[in-house]
A and B are shown apart, each in its own frame.
Chain A
Amino acid sequence: MKNINVKKHMLVPEHSKLTKKEIQELLEEYNLSLNELPKIVSTDPAIERFNVKLGDVIKIIRDSPTAGKSIYYRVVING
């Protein structure tokens, strides 16, 4: 896709990739396994720039009308 900067669009919240260590901490904190997290497909335009691979976790900081900011996590799946 030429000259579309998805990142700047108002509907797209801030995405960032977690490191291995951060994933580990996240799973421990909430007592989860990876496949219990919500998913995001690897071809998603919003995470195109990260060069993601399967099992990566994407941290999403959303603007929320009720909480100001809310944090969400998605695990990368094939798609």
Chain B
Amino acid sequence: MNRLFKKYEGKLPLKVINDIKEKLPKKISEAKLKKILEEVVMEYNKMLVQPGESVGLVSAESIGEPGTQMTLNTFHFAGVAEMNITMGLPRIIEILDGKKTIETPMTEIYLKKPYSQGKNIKKLALSIKETKLNEIVSEFMVNIAESKIELRVDEKRMESIGVNYPVIQKCIKASFKELALSKKGDSIILKLSEKEKELNQLFKVKEKIKEVYIQGIKGITQVLPIKKGSEFLIITAGTNLKKVLELDFVDKTRTISNNIFEIASVLGIEAARQAIINEVFKVIQNQGLNVDIRHLMLVADTMCATGTIKGVTRYGVVKEKASVLARASFETPIKHIFNASLIGEVDHLNSVVENVMLNQPVPVGTGLPGLVTKVKREPEWLKNKH
């Protein structure tokens, strides 16, 4: 019986085959099964999209129409101030336009056991967060007379993110080689070298030293451990997927960022395609709307067809169109027509828009097939007449 199913694998999608397997009665003869399968193949072929169907147009309408009902605001994350996510229409526009820098970059970090059960979650979260010196220093004091800067360190804060004095001193040393460091009580004293003793130099150093990088992953500005279902995960504002995936305690199979360009560069174009579908679908579902996922798959396929992500804009997907007139009809027509005339571009009129412009039948639906006839060879008697 399995042999029979195997034969139909090319003709039917896997899901249909599995459905049949599930619904079959326990005992069935091979002949009957074959009859069923033949019938299903016939029905399946009937249901396929007809050649020449304008699927892109249908997709555009199906995504655009519910788009008019979406909210325009951004949601605030429950519980935490200043952590908001772009949702609704702005988010969809952001994805489909292929914006390189998105408004609210975010990573969902899944953890390996036992960390996913909540072990050390707060500490892990803080160790990921990019920490700068001014977050652990409570006071910067400038001593003009002796050209010194005194940093009073917040020890509680230091303990909670798990760093100590030597680490801090090393970090400062790495970016300011000229400074002489010493420690007194709960403060670190920096002394400027002889040649930099000028007053404005002192204040310059003070401002610069606030931005000294202590620990964490660059780009991650906020962390938030949350519980989802039965496991803990960390949500971050700001992304750096590549660095996050290199961490030991991170579940490398599920951790994702919401920046599709980042996904494309770390995980490849196919992952980016899947991410586009997931992200758009998530927004649409969040709004309580219903769009068939096939439309999103088509859009995502189009955006990723060239191997890199192309937004649905005049710089992206539209630029890839072969026809000059089609490109000109979208945006900035004069530019396109000028450029085409400069290099002598030829329009083969293979698509819809350019044929509409020229008042010709468009190659869609019944307009698609052309008439093909065999030209009869010239009869012998006619040839002689010429």
Real complex partners, A and B? yes
> Which interface residue of B17, B253, B267 has the most chain A CB atoms within 10 A?
B267
- Minimal Cβ-Cβ distance residue in A for B305: A38
Give min CB distance, A47 to chain B, whole Å: 7
Asked whether, in the complex, the Cβ of B246 is within 8 Å of the Cβ of A4, the reply is yes
Give Cα distance in the complex from A67 to B14, angstroms: 6
Kindly state whether residue B308 has any CB partner on chain A within 8 Å. Answer: yes
Give min CB distance, A38 to chain B, whole Å: 4
- Per-residue CB contact flags for chain A residues 34-46 toward chain B (1 = under 8 Å, else 0) read 0000111100111
Kindly state whether residue B252 has any CB partner on chain A within 8 Å. Answer: yes
Asked whether, in the complex, the Cβ of B267 is within 8 Å of the Cβ of A9, the reply is yes
Asked whether, in the complex, the Cβ of A68 is within 8 Å of the Cβ of B242, the reply is no
Asked whether, in the complex, the Cβ of A8 is within 8 Å of the Cβ of B268, the reply is no
- Minimal Cβ-Cβ distance residue in B for A1: B242
Interface size range of chain B in the complex:
20 to 34
Asked whether, in the complex, the Cβ of B270 is within 8 Å of the Cβ of A46, the reply is yes
Chain B contact surface mostly: helix
Asked whether, in the complex, the Cβ of A60 is within 8 Å of the Cβ of B293, the reply is no
- Identify which of residues 43-69 in chain A touch chain B, using a CB-to-CB cut-off of 8 Å: 44-47, 60, 62, 64-69
Asked whether, in the complex, the Cβ of B252 is within 8 Å of the Cβ of A5, the reply is yes
Asked whether, in the complex, the Cβ of A44 is within 8 Å of the Cβ of B307, the reply is yes
Kindly state whether residue B32 has any CB partner on chain A within 8 Å. Answer: no
- Minimal Cβ-Cβ distance residue in A for B277: A65
- Per-residue CB contact flags for chain A residues 1-18 toward chain B (1 = under 8 Å, else 0) read 111111011111101000
Chain A residues contacting B307 (CB-CB under 8 Å) are: 38-41, 44, 74, 77, 79
- Identify which of residues 343-368 in chain B touch chain A, using a CB-to-CB cut-off of 8 Å: none
- Minimal Cβ-Cβ distance residue in A for B15: A68
Chain A residues contacting B18 (CB-CB under 8 Å) are: 68
Q: Known interface pairs A39-B305, A67-B15. Does A46 touch B268 (Cβ–Cβ under 8 Å)?
A: yes
Q: Known interface pairs A5-B252, A68-B14. Does A13 touch B245 (Cβ–Cβ under 8 Å)?
A: no
Asked whether, in the complex, the Cβ of B256 is within 8 Å of the Cβ of A69, the reply is no
Kindly state whether residue B111 has any CB partner on chain A within 8 Å. Answer: no
Kindly state whether residue B275 has any CB partner on chain A within 8 Å. Answer: yes
Interface size range of chain A in the complex:
20 to 34
Give Cα distance in the complex from A47 to B269, angstroms: 10
- Identify which of residues 286-317 in chain B touch chain A, using a CB-to-CB cut-off of 8 Å: 293-294, 297, 301, 304-308
Give Cα distance in the complex from A8 to B252, angstroms: 8
Asked whether, in the complex, the Cβ of B308 is within 8 Å of the Cβ of A41, the reply is yes
Asked whether, in the complex, the Cβ of B13 is within 8 Å of the Cβ of A39, the reply is no
Give min CB distance, A55 to chain B, whole Å: 14
Give Cα distance in the complex from A39 to B297, angstroms: 17
Chain A residues contacting B263 (CB-CB under 8 Å) are: 11
- Identify which of residues 217-262 in chain B touch chain A, using a CB-to-CB cut-off of 8 Å: 242, 245-246, 252-254, 256
Chain A residues contacting B17 (CB-CB under 8 Å) are: 68
> Which interface residue of B14, B265, B293, B294 has the most chain A CB atoms within 10 A?
B14
Kindly state whether residue B102 has any CB partner on chain A within 8 Å. Answer: no
Chain A residues contacting B15 (CB-CB under 8 Å) are: 64, 66-68
Kindly state whether residue A70 has any CB partner on chain B within 8 Å. Answer: yes
Give Cα distance in the complex from A8 to B246, angstroms: 14
- 18 further A-B contacts with Cβ under 8 Å, apart from A6-B268, A11-B274, are A1-B242, A1-B246, A2-B246, A5-B252, A9-B252, A11-B256, A11-B271, A15-B270, A39-B306, A40-B268, A41-B269, A41-B307, A44-B269, A46-B267, A46-B269, A66-B13, A68-B18, A79-B308
**5 pairs from A and B in contact (CB 8 Å cutoff):** A1-B246, A10-B254, A12-B270, A13-B270, A60-B270
Shortest 4 CB-CB contacts between residues of A and residues of B? A46-B268, A68-B14, A68-B15, A67-B13
